[in-house]
Amino acid sequence: MTIRNADKDDGADRTEERLLHHAAELVATRGMRGLSITELARAAGVSRPTVYRRWESADEVLRALIAHRMQLVINAVGPQAADRAAIVGKVVRFGDLFHADALFGRLLSNEPEVFTRYAFQRIGRSQRVVLEWLAAAITAAQQGGTVRAGSATDMAVMVLLMSQSAVLSHKTVSTVIDDDALRTELAHALDGYLRP
């Protein structure tokens, strides 16, 4: 690859990052209905063809945005966990950061059906990002002996389902269990599931 191509790729990455940033702002302030190719191009100060070169529809933009934001939350959680206690702590922290994220908070509070459709009705990019993160951590913890033997991928799926349930049900159960107790119970459930 020549330097010129590398610069072009870097510029394309910066443009995509900028587009995703503006898409997140549109969704966080206006909801899913406020996200269109035209509005995104206007907000980012680019032409519509610039957006269409990356995504064919607002639906594709939102899918890319959710996967991107999932990765940002994972990055904010910190370095890869290497033992069961760290996995449990990071999964619980992921839930806290997820709720604090403006985009995810908006979707969970005001448009849960949209969030559910894009994030949880099928294994898409956003789930794969989380599953890869979990499977790598579980594999490392298995090698250290703090997580039981078995398929790291299968266990990652179950950890995702358990934590996803707690995240999505948070508002529903908030009248019967406070945030600290919910975190504690989720941590106990995850620890028990992963323990050798």
Check if the beta carbon of residue 67 is closer than 8 Å to that of residue 119: no
For residue 143, pLDDT beyond 50: yes
**pLDDT number for residue 7:** 38
In this predicted model, which residue has the larger pLDDT, 80 or 138?
Answer: 138
Comparing 61-65, 96-100, 117-121, the range with the smallest average pLDDT is 117-121
Q: What is the pLDDT of residues 2-56, one digit of tens each?
A: 333 333 456 678 999 999 999 999 998 998 888 999 999 999 999 999 999 999 9
- Pairwise CA distance, residues 194 & 141, whole Å: 10
- Beta-carbon contacts of 186 under 8 Å, excluding residues fewer than 6 positions away, are 91, 92, 95, 162, 163, 166
- Pairwise CA distance, residues 119 & 113, whole Å: 10
Chain mean pLDDT for the chain: 88
Distances (CA, A) of 158 to 19, 155, 189: 33, 5, 11
96 confidence band (pLDDT: 50, 70, 90): very high
> Measuring CA to CA, which residue among 40, 45, 41, 42 is closest to residue 23?
40
Whole-model pTM?
0.82
User: Hey, what are 131's tokens?
Assistant: 């599953």
Furthest CA-CA distance within the chain: 60
171 confidence band (pLDDT: 50, 70, 90): confident
In this predicted model, which residue has the larger pLDDT, 97 or 80?
Answer: 97
Please tell me the number of Cα atoms within 13 Å of 151 on its side-chain side. Answer: 5
- Pairwise CA distance, residues 104 & 92, whole Å: 16
- As a dihedral over the C-alpha atoms of residue 3, residue 67, residue 84, residue 171, rounded to 10 degrees, the angle is 150
Q: Any idea what DSSP says for residue 56?
A: S
